[in-house]
Homo-oligomer: A and B are copies of this chain.
Amino acid sequence: MIKVLRLGHRRGRDDRISTHVGLTARQWGADEIIYSGERDKSMIESIRDVADRWGGGFEVGYTEEWKKQFREFNGFKVVLSMFGEELSKGMSEVKEIDEDILVIVGGEKVPSWLYEDADLNLSVGNQPHSEVAALAVFLHECLGDENLYRELEGAEIKVEPRRHGKEVINLDKESK
């Protein structure tokens, strides 16, 4: 089980980045995302709406107490930052893990104790970067591409991969 914790959401300014973090978590096959920071019903509903229409069991939540969630998580906790361990070194460790994983991404202001207290402070590059990019590559390294094209239960809509052009299929939910 992989759960993503997205820190420090700010309404307005972070809407699209936080949405992209959620969509990225869902597409690669994480099981759940929890947002913290400012409560933002419309952003969270927009992700849930995608999950409803496109299927699968992805869960979306919000917490006011992310520190508690972090401390009480029973598994391996990895924070993605530009300050952490090099990717190849860190991933060789992550791939051996047989526990649930909590992946934490910022957020503008990540308290520095988090880089100490997590089991692993992992960098996906140490240049200024993007939490969306970092999460995508981390999940891609963890889970590969096998989830990228899976059939999702309850989907109303799906896309057929095409080398050229575009093919969107509306599925008849009633006939399932």
Please report A residues at the B interface, Cβ cutoff 8 Å.
13-14, 16-17, 20, 23-24, 26-28, 50, 54, 81-88, 90, 112, 115-116, 118, 120-121, 123-130, 132-137, 140, 145, 147-149, 152, 158-168
Please tell me if the beta carbons of B14 and A84 are within 8 angstroms of each other in the complex.
Answer: no
Please tell me if the beta carbons of A120 and B163 are within 8 angstroms of each other in the complex.
Answer: yes
Which single member of B26, B145, B166 contacts A87 (CB below 8 Å)?
A: B145
| A112: B residues at CB distance < 8 A | 165-166
Least CB separation from A90: chain B residue: B163
Please tell me if the beta carbons of B85 and A163 are within 8 angstroms of each other in the complex.
Answer: yes
Which 4 A/B pairs are nearest by Cβ-Cβ distance? Answer: A133-B136, A20-B130, A125-B148, A132-B132
**Bound CA span A137–B143, Å:** 13
**Bound CA span A85–B163, Å:** 4
Q: A20-B17, A149-B86, A166-B112 are in contact. Are A159 and B121 (CB under 8 A)?
A: no
Please state the number of chain copies in the assembly: 2
**Bound CA span A96–B118, Å:** 40
| A167: B residues at CB distance < 8 A | 83
Q: A28-B125, A121-B165, A132-B132 are in contact. Are A88 and B16 (CB under 8 A)?
A: no
Least CB separation from A155: chain B residue: B127
Please tell me if the beta carbons of B20 and A145 are within 8 angstroms of each other in the complex.
Answer: no
A116 CB to closest chain B CB, in angstroms? 5
Which single member of B16, B85, B90 contacts A13 (CB below 8 Å)?
A: B16
| A24: B residues at CB distance < 8 A | 129-130, 132-133
A27 CB to closest chain B CB, in angstroms? 4
